[in-house]
Amino acid sequence: MEERQIVIEQRLRSGGVTATIGAIAFVFILVSTFLESGSSSSFPVWGLLLELVVLIALVLVILLFTRVVVRVVQTDFGRGLEIVYGPGGVVRQVFEPAEVEGTYARNLSFAEMGGWGYRGSLRLIRRAALVTRRGDALELELSRRRHFIVTVDEPADFVSALRG
């Protein structure tokens, strides 16, 4: 089994993203409750079921963004990037050393990163970004012409750590 040693890590300031998602959930609940009270639907159970499913999905997303940690890890094959989402690292996004072809420190606007939150898809459009604020960001140039951006403080430190 491959051992991973943490070289550098940073917990992202994700409170703004979490608050925004929470506000969206609150508005959804208010609007759906208001619409439901004025509706004379013969199938009220379907409306409640839909509300429950959406609410559970929003709670899961909020939990994932309450704690986001970006770290450079040393493996047997070199240094890669790992992003851990949620308490206890429920979800992990790993960029192995072999797929990282270039690393850059950038200063980008929201528009250049695609907005707040997780944007894009590495599989479908070959570009993705994890954005918790505007400004300093780490950009990874990945194999198969893919690019990933994540906002971090002092991205030059991450670039140095990845280049080892």
Average pLDDT over residues 134-161: 96
How far does Cα 155 stand from its chain's mean position? 17
Task: Give the full edge-to-edge strand order of the sheet including 78-85.
Answer: 5-11, 68-75, 78-85, 91-95
Q: Which residue has the higher pLDDT, 117 or 101?
A: 101
The CATH topology of domain 5-13+67-163 is PH-domain like (2.30.29)
Residues 6 or more apart whose Cβ sits within 8 Å of residue 109: 134
Residue pLDDT, tens place only, 115-142: 888 889 999 999 999 988 889 999 999 9
Please provide residue 52's backbone torsions phi and psi, each rounded to the nearest 5 degrees: -65, -45
Reported pTM: 0.75
Residues 6 or more apart whose Cβ sits within 8 Å of residue 150: 12, 70, 81, 83, 129, 130, 131, 137, 138
% of the chain with per-residue pLDDT over 90: 48
Question: For 99, which DSSP code?
Answer: G
Residue pLDDT, tens place only, 35-94: 655 555 555 666 677 777 777 877 777 777 778 899 999 999 999 999 998 888 878 999
Residue pLDDT, tens place only, 16-39: 766 666 676 677 666 666 665 555
Question: For 98, which DSSP code?
Answer: G
